[in-house]
Amino acid sequence: MLQIAVGSDRSAATLHTIEAPQPTARAGELLIKAAYAGVNRPDILQRQGAYPPPPEASPVLGLEVSGQVAALGADVSGWQVGDNVCALTPGGGYAEWCTTPAGQALALPRGLSLEQAASLPENWFTVWANLVIHGRLRAGECVLVHGGSSGIGVAATQLARLIGARCIVTVGSEAKARFCREFSSVEAIDYRSEDFVARTRELTQGEGVDLVLDMVGGDYIPRNLGVLRRDGRLVLIALQRGAKAEVDFGTVMRNRLVITGSTMRPRSIAEKTAIRDALLHEVWPALGEGRVRTHVHAVFPLNDAARAHQVMESGEFFGKLLLQMP
């Protein structure tokens, strides 16, 4: 089968296809004949050598796929060969065939194509974990989502609206602001032309927000704390501007703030299965009814994975980038 390999200097341009043996489903796993794979920012970090895969995982890039179940490992029930699925994978998604624990696979939401379904797992598992489990977002609250036009940002925005929360996003251009306003009906702040702290306070009549979902980190951390109202939560999911910050913990005490964060990949299969079950119950019906949407910006053939990574690195896209298998 064909899969993607990373060249010696680890740049996007060095991504290339190689022939490799087809994996086999171990106990508890599905073998999936992939149709599409999602491209995610963590893939860029892994390609660069900054985000090594967990020891048990495939070293091949790719955290999500859609396709058809081709074989069941021992002790797998509830799936049949030929079923259409999308799945969070432990790695190995940039390949024609991949395996994943059966508890990380989901049937397609009603009416969605395999292409659309490939855009869902990594982002929706992540935003569910961070907005609902760690962030405890509730109806009537207000959340600030940084990177509102990213794959994660679009899913977070859609989930916030599904929960019944007000959502404000930050983005790096007016085109991205327009996309977020039109696609997700949210308030958007262009952080390059406006101070997001002042603008968020203005949009909330000085009250601030209940939750910040942050993928920026660094100097954003104290600024995020400055837009949280009493009992607010800061949930960190990436540290693009650094892992260190100077924080006034007086603000944390006075406003009873919670600072937390998480990563998806190292979670146990049981934890991922519990998130899968929650998504099937709470989000998949809404996707099927069109109350929640996903946005695929572009689809690249597998042998053009280099271009997909270059586009992701350019930041010139909205929502998701996918790879299509031959």
Ligand X SMILES: NC(=O)c1ccc[n+]([C@@H]2O[C@H](COP(=O)([O-])OP(=O)(O)OC[C@H]3O[C@@H](n4cnc5c(N)ncnc54)[C@H](OP(=O)(O)O)[C@@H]3O)[C@@H](O)[C@H]2O)c1
Nearest distance from C-beta of residue 193 to ligand X, angstroms: 12
Nearest distance from C-beta of residue 268 to ligand X, angstroms: 14
Nearest distance from C-beta of residue 78 to ligand X, angstroms: 26
Nearest distance from C-beta of residue 64 to ligand X, angstroms: 10
8 Å CB contact between 62 and 51:
no
> Considering beta carbons, is residue 70 or 275 the nearer one to ligand X?
275
- Distance between alpha carbon 232 and the CA centroid of its chain, in Å? 23
Half-sphere exposure of residue 212: CA atoms within 13 angstroms, side-chain side: 31
> Considering beta carbons, is residue 65 or 216 the nearer one to ligand X?
216
Nearest to 300 by CA among 39, 21, 12: 39
8 Å CB contact between 184 and 249:
no
Residues that bind ligand X (CB under 6 A): 40-42, 122, 126, 146-147, 149-153, 170-172, 176, 191, 215-216, 237-238, 240, 262-264, 312, 315
> Considering beta carbons, is residue 23 or 135 the nearer one to ligand X?
135
> Considering beta carbons, is residue 122 or 210 the nearer one to ligand X?
122
Nearest distance from C-beta of residue 169 to ligand X, angstroms: 9
Nearest distance from C-beta of residue 46 to ligand X, angstroms: 10
- Give the whole-angstrom CA distance, residue 116 versus residue 296: 7
> Considering beta carbons, is residue 102 or 221 the nearer one to ligand X?
221
Nearest distance from C-beta of residue 31 to ligand X, angstroms: 25
Task: Indicate the Cα dihedral angle 262, 300, 280, 73, nearest 10°.
Answer: -90
- Give the whole-angstrom CA distance, residue 69 versus residue 292: 26
Structure tokens at 320: 């998701």
> Considering beta carbons, is residue 215 or 227 the nearer one to ligand X?
215
Residue type, 112: L
> Considering beta carbons, is residue 25 or 188 the nearer one to ligand X?
188
> Considering beta carbons, is residue 67 or 148 the nearer one to ligand X?
148
Nearest distance from C-beta of residue 163 to ligand X, angstroms: 19
- Give the whole-angstrom CA distance, residue 148 versus residue 187: 10
Nearest distance from C-beta of residue 229 to ligand X, angstroms: 21
> Considering beta carbons, is residue 97 or 220 the nearer one to ligand X?
220
